């Protein structure tokens, strides 16, 4: 298999992180989670104090807004160049999130990876289901692996530590209904135009129904790799 870039674009709660983890495990791809790259930076108190861009990113994050696109783009390209040099395939869960990002990142992606090996998936999910899934969303403390609630995947019933790294499972305090609704509105306003941009550049955007159980969503995604 040629090295690839796989992009999952989806509203909050659609399971893009979970699907990226599943795909990364199956094919040994590198899962690049933009929010995780950014959160590592904004948790560095010294960096926040001395760097206005990082301070702005932290304010955006705490209010449900996206990280500043130029700041995000720099983080992403630094990581992608590193992985391409290692001849690794890359999965993005939720990135690029703005027109600024995709306009600057896509030409660089095409230099590092073959155009035919860039796949774009749009996992759909309605607003009410987004709020329901994200309220008290569970992640692991160490690496922020998403931990599905038992109603979406019964095998996670009763577990208290992450199956991947053994760290405690925590609930994000930022995942309150009013913040989730704001994040959903931000997605519609800022991220759905990214899908139109890909289409204008003659990329196929593969739509996947995110309202289904995790296993069914993954099977639908896998059909496009098996072909």
Shared domain for 186 and 207, answered yes or no, is yes
Task: Look at residue 173 and tell me whether its pLDDT is greater than 70.
Answer: no
The closest of 151, 171, 21, 200 to 94, measured between CA atoms, is 21
User: Which sign does the torsion angle of CA 102, 77, 27, 209 carry?
Assistant: negative
Please indicate, yes or no, if residue 133 is contained in any of the structural domains. Answer: no
Task: Look at residue 17 and tell me whether its pLDDT is greater than 60.
Answer: yes
User: How far is the CA of 150 from the CAs of 133, 137, 154, 210, in angstroms?
Assistant: 11, 12, 5, 17
As a whole number, mean pLDDT of residues 75-82 equals 92
Q: What is the pLDDT of residue 72?
A: 87
175 or 223, higher pLDDT: 223
Rounded CA-CA distance 223/227 in Å is: 6
The mean-pLDDT minimum among 49-53, 98-102, 192-196 falls in: 49-53
Task: Look at residue 126 and tell me whether its pLDDT is greater than 70.
Answer: yes
Shared domain for 106 and 164, answered yes or no, is no
The domain total for the chain is 2
Segments forming the whole domain that contains residue 122: 5-128+177-226
User: How far is the CA of 66 from the CAs of 72, 134, 146, 186, in angstroms?
Assistant: 9, 16, 19, 8
Please indicate, yes or no, if residue 165 is contained in any of the structural domains. Answer: yes
Shared domain for 121 and 184, answered yes or no, is yes
As a whole number, mean pLDDT of residues 91-106 equals 92
Q: What is the pLDDT of residue 174?
A: 61
Confidence band of 1 (pLDDT split at 50, 70, 90): confident
Please indicate, yes or no, if residue 86 is contained in any of the structural domains. Answer: yes
Shared domain for 22 and 104, answered yes or no, is yes
Q: Which residues contact 220 (CB under 8 A, 6 or more apart)?
A: 208, 209, 212
Shared domain for 144 and 118, answered yes or no, is no
Task: Look at residue 159 and tell me whether its pLDDT is greater than 90.
Answer: no
Average model confidence (pLDDT) across the chain: 88
Q: What is the pLDDT of residue 172?
A: 67
Please indicate, yes or no, if residue 39 is contained in any of the structural domains. Answer: yes
pTM, to two decimals: 0.79
As a whole number, mean pLDDT of residues 187-212 equals 95
Shared domain for 205 and 152, answered yes or no, is no
Please indicate, yes or no, if residue 12 is contained in any of the structural domains. Answer: yes
Shared domain for 107 and 22, answered yes or no, is yes
Domain containing residue 200: CATH number? 3.40.50.300
Shared domain for 23 and 86, answered yes or no, is yes
What percentage of the chain has pLDDT greater than the value 90?
A: 50
As a whole number, mean pLDDT of residues 190-217 equals 95
Shared domain for 167 and 196, answered yes or no, is no
Shared domain for 71 and 148, answered yes or no, is no
Shared domain for 94 and 202, answered yes or no, is yes
Shared domain for 121 and 151, answered yes or no, is no
Please indicate, yes or no, if residue 23 is contained in any of the structural domains. Answer: yes
Task: Look at residue 227 and tell me whether its pLDDT is greater than 60.
Answer: no
Please indicate, yes or no, if residue 60 is contained in any of the structural domains. Answer: yes
Q: Is 210 helix (H, G, I), strand (E, B) or coil?
A: coil
- Per-residue model confidence as pLDDT tens digits over 30-67: 999 888 888 888 888 888 888 888 888 888 887 777 78
């Amino acid at each position: 298999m040629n090295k690839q870039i796989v992009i999952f674009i989806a509203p909050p709660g659609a399971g893009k992180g979970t699907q990226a983890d599943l795909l990364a495990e199956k094919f040994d791809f590198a899962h690049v989670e933009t929010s995780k790259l950014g959160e590592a930076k904004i948790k560095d108190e010294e960096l926040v104090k001395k760097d206005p861009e990082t301070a702005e990113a932290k304010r955006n994050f705490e209010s449900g807004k996206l990280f500043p696109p130029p700041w995000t783009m720099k983080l992403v390209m630094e990581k992608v160049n590193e992985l391409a040099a290692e001849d690794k395939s890359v999965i993005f869960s939720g990135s690029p999130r703005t027109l600024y990002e995709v306009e600057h990142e896509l030409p660089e992606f095409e230099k590092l990876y073959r155009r035919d090996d860039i796949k774009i998936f749009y996992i759909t999910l309605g607003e009410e289901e987004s709020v329901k899934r994200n309220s008290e969303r569970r992640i692991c403390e160490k690496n922020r692996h998403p931990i599905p609630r038992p109603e979406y995947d019964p095998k996670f019933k009763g577990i208290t530590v992450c199956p991947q790294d053994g760290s405690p499972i925590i609930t994000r305090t930022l995942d309150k209904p009013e913040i989730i609704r704001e994040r959903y509105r931000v997605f519609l306003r800022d991220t759905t135009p990214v899908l139109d941009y890909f289409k204008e550049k003659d990329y196929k955007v593969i739509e996947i129904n995110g309202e289904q159980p995790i296993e069914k969503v993954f099977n639908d995604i896998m059909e496009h790799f098996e072909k």
